Structure 1
């Protein structure tokens, strides 16, 4: 290949999703009859609820669903997401603060694209989901790992974040319950991190995809519920994949300040346009 016909250096540097790679290997071994238990992809062990499937089946009867729909999502779904955000994250938002995406992963990608400029640093508590650093780098940002081990219950402290902060720090990724460790920050720990972000004007990208999957009476308190004032600099990422056993339906969303969501919708209008309408109606039912 000649230099002129070479591939993009940015894209060539991105690693394949380790999660999907291991998941594909596990499925291949299962197909061969091997007794494999996979801890790769976060896949609920129950089927999508019947009423959700029924809603999709009903949506197939309406020819309007075979046409383009708004890039930012069906109005009814954006309203439903706003209601869920109030119910589960304690934050009152309008439907125009919601952008429906092709799965939670696209929401993660678009969030970084919207807030980062070349050279911006993102504090990334470690261990972390393998997509975060790649999505940061695709937005020309620099991931800065902040490690917390088992003795700390895999939860970073404000002291650690402050030690890692520089004049290039633009954002922090906050994930509770954590993927992959499962650790849940206490309300007090969550509040501390929110106040730190407020003090330093740092964006918060909070991935709440696992917020409803907690056990033994533990509740994951959203960072915008802990400190409502931080909502103006927070983007919430979520989707139907985990809570409703809809990983293959590919419906996620992002919630945030109006200007940020307008930018995300503009990006999506060129990137993918609308999410599959049938899947969106299934998500409304969920």
Structure 2
């Protein structure tokens, strides 16, 4: 009897989610009665607002919501996301430039699949969310870590990015507020990085899922608001999980140039 053909080497090489692994351990300890406070998953400490729950319950009574929907998302939802993107990120887009995904993690995956080719190098400021390098690897790209420690408030500089850039660099990951450090780039820092990416023709994948969770008067300025000309080479990923405490609802999205969204 011949042996079975092997499973996918690409998928087998992907590491288990460190976030979910630690979160599962914390929940197991809590279930055992241990007084554990978990900082693993990005889980708000408040419930999904009641007006959202009520609207969902009402929608369940409408049979049209049981049918197949457009792959890119409900038109009314894409319109709402376009309006939210203008309000919070300062970027005006058509609903056709919005793709609704099964949570924010899928939008991150699809963003890299859209702009990364085999062998491309992706600049990844560190510390970072553990999903990023795995999603880059699935797109057959190479993550290049650019570390910024506490002495820099965990924020990379243009000088560091330029030192890491090679002729294979095609993408920069930009996250402000940062996951996991919480650092927020100033408008000036954001603009400087955006102008650098624009100058070198580098795509930016900017994860804005924490953009509404800022404190003490801080405002997370979107990189496309700081440098509007960069919109043609930027994909914004976002979702409802953090702002509205809807982590289990699995609603995310990506916004970008029309040609890129056709591929996504």
How would you bin the TM-score normalised by the shorter chain? over 0.9
2:15 matched residue in structure 1: 15
Match of 2:170 in 1: 170
The 1-side partners of 2:140 and 2:4 are apart by: 22
**Structure 2 counterpart of 1:216:** 216
Partner residue, 1:138: 138
**TM superposition shift of 1:222:** 0.3
Cα distance in 1 for residues equivalent to 2:47 and 2:237:
23
Counterparts of 1:171 and 1:2 in 2: how far apart (Å)? 44
Which structure carries more relative contact order (alpha carbon 8 Å, separation 6+)? 1
Aligned residue number for residue 183 of structure 1:
183
SS at match of 1:184: coil
- Is the partner of 1:69 in helix, strand or coil? coil
Question: Does residue 237 of the first structure (1) align with residue 237 of the second (2)?
Answer: yes
Q: How many residues align?
A: 264
Q: CA deviation at 1:2?
A: 6.9
Q: Which whole-Å deviations, capped at 9, do the CAs of 1:109-156 have from their partners, x for residues lacking one?
A: 000001111000000000000000000000000000000010000000
State the partner residue of 1:89: 89
Per the alignment, in what secondary structure is the counterpart of residue 170 of structure 1? Answer: strand
Deviation at 1:28, TM superposition (A): 1.1
Q: Does 1:33 align with 2:42?
A: no
TM-score, normalised with respect to structure 1? 0.91
Report the counterpart of residue 154 of structure 1 in structure 2.
154
Q: Which SS does the other structure have where 1:261 is aligned?
A: helix
Partner residue in 2 for 1:227: 227
Superposed CA deviations along residues 92-124 of structure 1, whole A, max 9, x for unmatched, are 111000000000000000000011110000000
In 2, the alpha carbon distance for the partners of 1:30 and 1:62 equals 39
2:127 alignment partner in structure 1 = 127
Deviations 1:206-260 (A, max 9, x none): 0000000000000000000001000000000000000000000000000000111
